[in-house]
Amino acid sequence: MKRLAAIVVLSALGCRGQTSEEPPVALLRNMHQQQRYNPQARSRMFADGRTMRPPVEGTVPFGSLIDDARVATGREEDNSAYVPTVPEPVVSQATYRDDQGRRHEGMDALTLRGHERFNIYCAPCHGRAGDGLGMVYLRSRRPSVGFPYPQPANLHDARVRHMPDGQLYATISNGVRNMPSYAAQVPVNDRWAIVAYVRALELSQAPNDGAMP
Ligand code: HEC
């Protein structure tokens, strides 16, 4: 009887709605709480001391494997030369929705997308017109800057105009001399889109050899 009274009193006192800083009593811990590492934390288990393990060499991020060598590298299957034109699968799969919601396909879509990407990623150095007089270049020439950035190529030079499409693609992917690679910022299909747009830009300013009506 005494014991019953004690249980009644204690349970009445126990539920007064106070807050507690103590962790809740977990009768069965299961897997709710278990040891783990925090991101970027140190580990004594691995020789390099990192808990975040680098991916196995040759790992390809899910969904980004391109098994068409011409599309991936801009070079022929046998690596003998650059591909002359944007590979067909890239063109046929391209779609683009413009500001008015109109849907474009094929080369049309690729060029529109390339226009957008070119103005974001290439124009700061090469200029919107592709003449190599972008803002980065011009501003770096101000005496107060103290570091004159090397002159970006004029994309209307005969040398660039006569490059195969694959070489333009490879330039974006790998960089060239003073130009850094843009592979990390620009995904493969967008690189080809930029190539398509650069070709249109070049045509628009090319000496009129009858190609443009
Ligand atoms: C950070 C500035 C910068 C950006 C951004 C940039 N380039 Fe360049 N690019 C250069 C410079 C500088 C050169 C000249 C490199 C040299 O000759 O040393 C160059 C050269 C080139 C060439 C000539 C390559 C050759 O073989 O002579 C092409 C084509 C080109 N860029 C295309 C592009 C395209 C397309 C983009 C956008 C994806 C781009 N560049 C973005 C700075 C840039």
Binding pocket residue ranges, ligand 1, CB within 6 Å: 121-122, 124-126, 136, 150, 152-153, 155, 160, 168, 171-172, 176-179, 182, 186, 194, 198
Measure 179 CA to ligand 1 centroid, in angstroms: 5
Q: For 28-42, how does the pLDDT look when each residue is reduced to its tens digit (9 = 90+)?
A: 777 777 788 899 999
Q: How confident is the model at residue 19 (pLDDT cuts 50, 70, 90)?
A: confident
Hey, whose CA ends up nearest to atom 37 of ligand 1?
122
Q: Are 185 and 121 in contact (CB under 8 A)?
A: yes
Residues 145-180: tens digit of each pLDDT: 888 889 999 999 999 999 999 999 999 999 999 999
Q: Which of 113, 121, 126, 201 to mutate to test the pocket of ligand 1 (most atoms within 8 A of CB)?
A: 126
Distance set, CA 198 to CA 41, 122, 201, 210 (Å): 46, 10, 5, 19
Tell me: pLDDT of 24 over 90: no
Long-range CB contact pairs, 86-90, < 8 A, 24+ = 86/110, 86/165, 86/169, 86/192, 86/195, 86/196, 87/192, 90/189, 90/192
Q: Which residue carries 């962790």 as its tokens? A: 23
Q: Which residue has the tokens 């001399």?
A: 177
pLDDT above 70 coverage of the chain, percent: 91
CA of 75 to the centre of ligand 1 (A): 19
**173: Cβ–Cβ under 8 A, 6 or more apart, which residues?**
73, 74, 181, 182, 183, 191
